[in-house]
Structure 1
């Protein structure tokens, strides 16, 4: 492993010589929970069911890479959400969900430089659609919770592309988006915090860890330990 060096306080780089030109990149792909936003949505939904501690423990283990079957871990967590209402999810969205510092500035800067923005999440469409609309994101990929009469069933709905957006699906989505745009993966940036982000980070030209788990920090080309998402702009020049 290449030794990480401190580029600036709270910001380390490894495997390349900074700064890079923002014009080198045409796409930036973000994880959502604990990257673009301040919460893990599944944990906060579980709070409404009185099961936050149980669900959060599974989430933490999955993000650290201690659970290798992400799909099964997500199914377990979603099953514990059975009985939660849409009203409870709206409360999470309106009262608890916040963009992380620098999110709007980073997305705005990337769009101003001509980049497209992809949000690819192991979370849920109820929240990714909101974040997409707030930030003006071009494309999203996430999971769809099953509802019956406004109440969660504890299951997810299969979508055209498959059943669950896990790490491999994140990787595939990034590669498919690059192909659709007519660019190479080297022209993409991938940004995340958990182990399920590593597959897409591994194929991108620039991988960025944001206040991430140790396993992710170790493998990322850029690691932001302090400050907001927009600290990436310190590495990218115009």
Structure 2
């Protein structure tokens, strides 16, 4: 049975440990992107271009809540509905709708200053993860590639050398592989997410953080940030 969480300070809950923790205990911090590092679900915003945002967003919400168990199929369904969207709209989404969530810059900077490597693992798309990687100076990324033909989305994704879709299991594998590459134990990793497909990597990490998360994720995480920005983790993990 999962231990009950207790409120460390308003809107910040902890479970299973006594703060503060030290950055010295960790060597990697892994982030989900959509609704964690950034304020939107990119697939939903792309769908707005073809008048299908409500339909796509309903599938996204069910997947993030864990009500759809086959994440890969749910993503294929959503991407199929994007067929025909002009790729220029992706840049418009990035420029006009996407923002970093509060505290994202500060938390990433603090982790890097403490010597941690950073990982971005997303069920979203490389168009956005590449830009967030460059913007924040992220060390490693894994996400999905949208197929494009004649300047428009085809409604399909491109298989990559590591597999077809970055789902929860791939997030877990990438976290473990990155730890191995860095010579770290998984317990030396921090994993931050908000949806059900983040639970596999959060379950491997030494510290799991739910950020304004779905109930199932919040109930299992060691830290739940329900109010304020990502930098509230700095109340718990210090130099």
1:87 shift after superposition: 1.0
1: CA distance between counterparts of 2:123 and 2:110?
25
State the secondary structure of the residue aligned to 2:40: coil
**Partner residue of 1:61?**
62
1: CA distance between counterparts of 2:238 and 2:162?
36
Residues 1:38 and 2:36 are matched in the alignment = no
2: CA distance between counterparts of 1:30 and 1:150?
30
**Partner residue of 2:127?**
126
State the secondary structure of the residue aligned to 2:164: coil
2: CA distance between counterparts of 1:164 and 1:126?
15
Deviations 1:126-165 (A, max 9, x none): 0000000000000100000000011000000000000000
Deviations 1:38-92 (A, max 9, x none): 0000000000010000000000000000000000000000000000111111110
Residues 1:21 and 2:22 are matched in the alignment = yes
**Partner residue of 1:95?**
96
**Partner residue of 2:203?**
202
2: CA distance between counterparts of 1:16 and 1:110?
20
State the secondary structure of the residue aligned to 1:163: coil
Deviations 1:180-200 (A, max 9, x none): 000100000000000000000
1: CA distance between counterparts of 2:164 and 2:213?
26
**Partner residue of 2:77?**
76
State the secondary structure of the residue aligned to 2:109: helix
State the secondary structure of the residue aligned to 1:29: strand
State the secondary structure of the residue aligned to 1:38: coil
**Partner residue of 1:137?**
138
TM-score normalised according to structure 1 size = 1.00
1:74-223 correspondence runs (5 A): 74-223=75-224
State the secondary structure of the residue aligned to 1:66: coil
Can you give the 5+ residue segments of structure 1 that lack an aligned partner in the other structure?
none
1: CA distance between counterparts of 2:186 and 2:23?
15
State the secondary structure of the residue aligned to 1:147: strand
TM-score normalised according to structure 2 size = 0.99
Deviations 1:93-150 (A, max 9, x none): 1000000000000000000000000000000000000000000000100000000011
Can you give the 5+ residue segments of structure 2 that lack an aligned partner in the other structure?
none
